[in-house]
Amino acid sequence: MVDTPLTTAPVDGQTTFLFSQLTTDLEHLNAHIAFLGIPYGLAYTVGDVSNDQSTMPAAMRQATDRMVRSLERYDFDLGGPLYAGKPIRAVDCGDVRADVHDLKGQVARAEQVVRKIVGSGAMPIVLGGDHGVSIPVLRAFEGRGPITLIQIDQHLDWRDEVNGIKDGLSSPMRRASEMEHIGQIFQIGLSATGSARQEEVDAAKAWGAHLIPAHELHEVGMDAVLRLIPDGGRYYLTVDMDGMDCAIAPAVAAPMPGGVSFVEARRLVHGRAGGKGPRGRHGRRRDHAAHGHQPHHLHHGRPPDRQLDRRGRTRRLFRLGSAGAD
């Protein structure tokens, strides 16, 4: 009996991300960094099974030599070459295998693959895929907490379900809040409207999520946000590209002005890149290719809300202003 692989190798054009080495042998993984494509999440409708987001792992691989001409080149955003001249072994594990006869199976396989990557000691960097792919990835970190979850996103993502689907793109933060290994949640760049209703906003605030609308971020700056995030921990960073300003990322489903700028996102990453346990970081994009420690006062003397979280620790929350959230 032939075992069916968990991942498949890309076949067209640039087949790996950032000039990494292709490997689909997950049982003998030997790497510091493992890139992984998860093209498909759980769709809410038949028409969304294969969509623009599902093309993004391939599109990002194709853009590799536009982002980094070669690994020895000096990058002024980093202050040196990508891997700082260190012998970093990066591999690309291909894409999580999809099966038209078992759409839910790809979510289970995604969790399996990430568990293997993390178990090998490598840091997974995931290329999505819609934002629902964050759910199996987060589950794969079970027993490795507490992890501080940091999200850049226009939307709140606290729906319990949509069309009976509980692990879809509107629910990753709700599912994360149910995981014991998730410590705190910071949601940066919230703006406009999405699937969230007042009940989802209330649920997020009651749990203790730090909700940071884009307009407040622009007023106080990313350094003020960084002071809220605990030092020296394990971090998981997830980026939904609609959280970035639409002048930077117009090819998303809901492009809205006023999102997180490139400079702000860079400051966030650099401000927490020295944290212990970097394998908690996770990069993910949700593009639509076809469409184009804590400050006492944060917002003009208005103190953040305070409450005890489910583990009895004091949390500080940004007050959610006029911006909507998903």
**pLDDT of amino acid 281:** 36
**pLDDT of amino acid 135:** 97
Q: 258 pLDDT band (50/70/90 cuts)?
A: very high
One-letter amino acid at 220 equals V
- The residue to which tokens 């009976």 are assigned: 164
Q: Reply yes or no on whether the pLDDT at 276 is more than 70.
A: no
Query: What percent of the chain clears pLDDT 70, i.e. is strictly above it?
Result: 83
Helix then strand count (H, E) for the chain reads 9, 11
**pLDDT of amino acid 250:** 92
**pLDDT of amino acid 261:** 97
Q: 253 pLDDT band (50/70/90 cuts)?
A: confident
Mean pLDDT of 185-205: 97
Q: 274 pLDDT band (50/70/90 cuts)?
A: low
If you average pLDDT over every residue of the chain, what do you get?
85
Stated pTM of the model: 0.84
Q: Reply yes or no on whether the pLDDT at 273 is more than 90.
A: no
Instruction: Choose between 283 and 164: higher pLDDT.
Output: 164
d(CA 40, CA 27): 23
d(CA 40, CA 71): 29
Domains of the chain from N-terminus onward: 1-129 (3.40.800.10), 145-326 (3.40.800.10)
CB 135 within 8 Å of CB 8: no
Mean pLDDT of 128-150: 96
d(CA 98, CA 107): 9
Instruction: Choose between 29 and 232: higher pLDDT.
Output: 29
If one counts every other C-beta atom within 10 angstroms of the C-beta of residue 231, the result is 11
If one counts every other C-beta atom within 10 angstroms of the C-beta of residue 115, the result is 18
Encode pLDDT of 104-128 as tens digits. 899 999 999 999 999 999 999 999 9
